[in-house]
Amino acid sequence: MPAGPTFVIVGASLGGARAAEALRDEGFDGRIVLIGAEAHHPYERPPLSKDYLQGRAERQSIFVHDDGWYPEHDIDLRLGTAVTAIDRNLRQVGLASGETVGYDKLLLTTGAVPVRLPVPGADTSGVRYLRTVDDSERLRETLASASRVAVVGAGWIGLEVAAAARNAGAAVTVIEAAELPLLGVLGPEAAQVFLDLHREHDVDFRLGAQVAEIVASAGAATGVRLAGGTETGGTETGGTEISADAVVIGIGVAPATGLAEAAGLGVDRGVRADAALRTSDPVIYAAGDAARAYHPLLDTYLRVEHWSNARHQPVAAARSMLGQDVAYDRLPYFFSDQYDLGMEYSGYVPPGGYDRVVFRGDVGKREFIAFWLSGGRVLAGMNVNVWDVNDQVQELIRAGRRADPERLANPDIPLPETVTGA
Ligand SMILES: Cc1cc2nc3c(=O)[nH]c(=O)nc-3n(C[C@H](O)[C@H](O)[C@H](O)COP(=O)(O)OP(=O)(O)OC[C@H]3O[C@@H](n4cnc5c(N)ncnc54)[C@H](O)[C@@H]3O)c2cc1C
């Protein structure tokens, strides 16, 4: 048993595993207890809606480390174990079994959970959400036999599932409350690219549509009824019914903040943390999808629910737990794969925060970079089927200087030479 203090990590997924790894890499020789509610060793989620869902990746490939890594690094890994409470006075966490584990420092990497669709019938068996490897395996089985799939929500998960379902040969209808898929993240200019992509693959879209009910027969979902209009006097006219033998809901995730809230930590749409990933309790830290941390470069509190953040932010939290001087300021980054479209997005655009989108390359062929600008400064960039440019895109954003839109749009001008002003 290692000597020294005990660091407890709650949430044994990518974030938790990366923090444990960083603590050992940094030479921490105290006790590390990594506690996870899921029965599986820590794994990565992006393949769950892509290659793994489509049966094109081996199960072994999704794990962060092989099983032997944890004992080899003296990580006390408790799987299938939910932490039910944090006692900040006694500095201990309570487990569902009734056991307690004391900590000198505590890290919360509790992640996020899918938002449930609040309509009648949403609990019917056959209605699928996608967050865990078990969800992905169940959905893969469903897609293997479904001939008509309804996807509620045209965000990243919904669109990736739509692509997987089309690849599996099912007819797909995507139902989305906004007027375009991904509208909130990308804005109308670039969101249109994803609508065109999926339409070319014969996905049927119901945009600006609300789900009123999941229709079921004999306990299994048979479709989705859309909310209809209302007659004068407010009487529901009843809406269209879309039949489906599988209904997948991807309407977003909510940070898992219950433990933090019950313990009286600062919570505001995520566990609030400073740039060193410390919460309102100086011995408790938070990182990954669960955390809303202060971002020094962007000068705002930000909760990032993406893989790259879950890889890097917990490493910074681990260093901070060891007393190192940390200010986590990596730019938000994410990626997606749908059919033959691969993309990376870097940066952050606050809601309504851009005044211009510049495209560089061939949008029709879906080989381009899109830049979101405000006052001439690049806030974010998305490269679509164009590779090895992400570092340069990030440099443009980090530089915070004005770029010339005409030069930015010209693929013959190297990106660093598009910066013109202060
Ligand atoms: C299907 C899917 C596809 C994705 N694809 C992409 C992608 O293409 N690109 C991208 O950038 N991002 C993608 N993401 C997002 C990315 O996977 C997440 O950002 C990342 O998993 C967050 O890691 P995390 O460790 O912070 O939290 P999570 O992965 O959510 O893990 C949190 C863990 O904590 C556990 N836990 C919670 N509360 C407790 C408790 N009280 N006690 C014990 N354990 C607890 C949970 O069971 C869970 O295992 C995808 C996510 C999903 C679900």
- Please give the C-alpha separations between residue 172 and each of 141, 166, 230, 413, in angstroms, as whole numbers: 16, 7, 27, 41
**What's the one-letter identity of residue 25?**
D
The ligand 1 atom nearest the CA atom of 47: 3
Q: Rounded to the nearest whole angstrom, what is the distance from the C-alpha of residue 307 to the centroid of ligand 1?
A: 8
Atom of ligand 1 lying closest to residue 83 CA: 42
Q: List the one residue out of 13, 181, 7 whose CA is nearest residue 103.
A: 7
Ligand 1 within 6 A of 315 CB?
Answer: no
Query: How long a stretch of residues is the chain?
Result: 422
pTM listed for this prediction: 0.96
Atom of ligand 1 nearest to the CA of 49: 1
Reported as a single tens digit per residue, the pLDDT across 161-211 is 999 999 999 999 999 999 999 999 999 999 999 999 999 999 999 999 999
CA 45 to ligand 1 centroid distance, Å: 6
- Tell me what pLDDT residue 219 has: 87
What confidence tier does 126 reach under pLDDT thresholds 50, 70, 90? confident
| Cα-based distances in Å from 421 to 245, 336, 396, 404 | 56, 32, 12, 8
pLDDT band per the 50, 70, 90 thresholds, residue 231? very low
**318 C-alpha vs ligand 1 centroid, how far in Å?**
18
- The verdict on the CB of residue 288 being under 6 Å from ligand 1 is yes
Nearest-angstrom CA–CA distance, 124 and 120: 9
For residue 15, how many other CB atoms are within 10 A of its CB? 31
Name residue 281's amino acid. D
Provide the pLDDT for residue 237: 46
Distance CA 396, CA 418 (A): 9
For residue 310, report the distance from its CA to the centre of ligand 1, in Å. 8
CA 111 – ligand 1 centroid, Å: 5
Closest Cα to atom 15, ligand 1: which residue?
306
Ligand 1 contacts CB of residue 46 (under 6 A): yes
Tens digit of each residue's pLDDT (9 = 90 or more) over 301-322: 999 999 999 999 999 999 999 9
Mutate to test the pocket of ligand 1, among 10, 106, 110, 267 (most ligand atoms within 8 A of CB): 110
Predicted confidence (pLDDT) per residue in 243-299, tens digit: 999 999 999 999 999 999 999 999 999 999 999 999 999 999 999 999 999 999 999
The answer, yes or no, to whether residue 343 has pLDDT greater than 50, is yes
What ligand 1 atom has the least distance to the C-alpha of 309? Answer: 19
Q: Which two tokens stand for residue 14?
A: 């990518």
**How does 392-414 read in b/e, with b if 16+ C-beta sit within 10 Å?**
bbbebbeeeebbbbebbbeeeee
Residue type, 222: T
The pLDDT of residue 3:
63
**What's the pLDDT band for 97 if we cut at 50, 70, 90?**
very high
Distances (CA, A) of 306 to 120, 127, 286: 30, 24, 15
35 in contact with ligand 1, CB cutoff 6 A? yes
Q: Ligand 1: does its nearest atom lie under 6 Å from the Cβ of 139?
A: no
In whole angstroms, give the CA distance from residue 87 to residue 102: 9
Structure-token pair, residue 184: 């909130």
CA 361–ligand 1 middle distance (angstroms): 34
Question: Which residue, judged by its Cα, is nearest atom 52 of ligand 1?
Answer: 45
